[in-house]
Amino acid sequence: MSNIEDYQAKLAEIQAIPIEEVKEPGIPVDVALQEAENLHHWANDDADALKLVGITAAMIKELPVRAGACREAQSIWNKDYRSQQEAQKQWAEQAPLAYDLRDDLLASLRFAYRKDDALLSRVSAITEGTGHADMLQDLNDIAVLGRENPDPLTAISFDLAQLDVAATRADELADLLAEANGDKADQNESKLIRDQAYTHLKALVDEIREAGKYVFRKDKNRLKGYASEYWRKKKKPADNDEAQAED
């Protein structure tokens, strides 16, 4: 099956993994996927011996399916993560313009309402607070205040269409900020599913490796196939035997 088919076939099982049991990848995902594929081929050659300790042919055959599902989940997460990075870039470009718009509109409101203490008080209230979210709320509050009290604004030749611009920018930039911060629901969901898919794969990899290390504990030539090459390379040469026992 293709990665997409593997993903669709295993998605319900993946999503059923409780959040408290989910593990984030401890090694690069592409490395974990390749090691799972390698383990599939290695264990397949040892299928008869592994069967004696409870590792069935079906379990070995399941490895590339889980790896394919995890690979697809990783691709989906990468796409969303790249979208987040693009949103961060767009926010960095557009936020200064939004702050300038907010400040310019506030200056117009202060001048237009300079003879009305009640309206000036509302303008002052808008200026309270700091931060991006507050700035976006300011734009929307400015639009509301200006629409409710348009006459003083028209008296100074203020373009009332700017109030619609403020409200629209507040709405658009709120979505952009959420995406840039990674707060969008689809981003959080794709990250969780990627981690669940990795957990799903790792559980089977660990089970087969543990069995292989037991079965071939006296056969170094076969034993090496049941340890992580990634972690073996991370260890000093003198610790390789220990690495095989831990990975």
- What tens digit of pLDDT does each residue of 145-166 get? 999 999 999 999 999 999 999 9
- What tens digit of pLDDT does each residue of 28-72 get? 999 999 999 999 999 999 999 999 999 999 999 999 999 999 999
- What tens digit of pLDDT does each residue of 11-24 get? 999 999 999 999 99
pTM: 0.64
Is the model's pLDDT at 237 over the cut of 60? no
Q: Please, are residues 26 and 98 in contact by the beta-carbon 8 Å criterion?
A: no
Domain ranges for the chain: 3-86+185-246, 93-180
Is the model's pLDDT at 239 over the cut of 70? no
Could you tell me the pLDDT band of residue 246, with boundaries at 50, 70 and 90? very low
